[in-house]
Amino acid sequence: MISIGIILGSTRPGRRGEQVARWVEERAALRGDARFEVVDLVDHPLPHLDELPGEYGHEHTRAWAAKIASFDGFVVVTPEYNHSAPAVLKNAIDFLHAEWRDKAIGFVSYGGVGGARAVEQLRLVCGALEMADVTSQVTLSLATEFENFTVLKPGDHHVAALTKMLDQVVAWSTALAPLRTGSPVAVA
């Protein structure tokens, strides 16, 4: 069965991401086509790039690499900070390369304009890592999807968008499996 990591991409105190990631996980748990696990960057404290690319001399890098390698695809939950993704998320992505390759990725973002600008930048990064970013995404505005700007209250249209995005992440993760395993791809 396909395994999808739900990466919680903020470590800032007071972050809204925990409730967003829980919502994604709860909705994903209703599916029977994949296993889902929240990966909170708080649990993986990585210093700012303290190794050469591909050289995993530190335990924190080896643990992070093993965690990411264990998944077939990802959903990233990200806020938008200053028109971009959080530095801690970009740092966690930049720590690795091969572990991301040939895996699908979808995005659930939140912020003043739903976090859309952060996702657009992350799509470029993921393309450079040879990931397959799916087109469907969920954008949650702090003004309309969070009661008093703090409590997540997604609308039915967000549930539909999340379902579509998860469908795509699972389908693409499954389709890319032969590239990750080195098995030949059958051409019809």
Structural domain contains residue 51: yes
Structural domain contains residue 175: yes
pTM, two decimals, is: 0.94
pLDDT of residue 52: 84
**Mind listing the pLDDT tens digit for each residue in 97-116?**
999 999 999 999 999 899 99
Structural domain contains residue 17: yes
Structural domain contains residue 156: yes
Structural domain contains residue 188: no
Q: Are 131 and 100 in contact (CB under 8 A)?
A: yes
Structural domain contains residue 187: no
pLDDT of residue 51: 87
Q: What is the CATH number of the domain that holds 83?
A: 3.40.50.360
Mean pLDDT of the chain: 94
**Percent of the chain that is helix, strand, coil (3-state, to 5):** 40, 25, 35
Number of domains in the chain: 1
Q: Tell me the average pLDDT across 15-27.
A: 97
pLDDT of residue 184: 58
pLDDT at position 148 over 80 = yes
Structural domain contains residue 25: yes
Q: What would the DSSP string read from start to end of 59-100?
A: HHHHHHHHHHHT-SEEEEEEE-BTTB--HHHHHHHHT-STTT
Residue numbers of the domain that contains 81: 2-181
Structural domain contains residue 12: yes
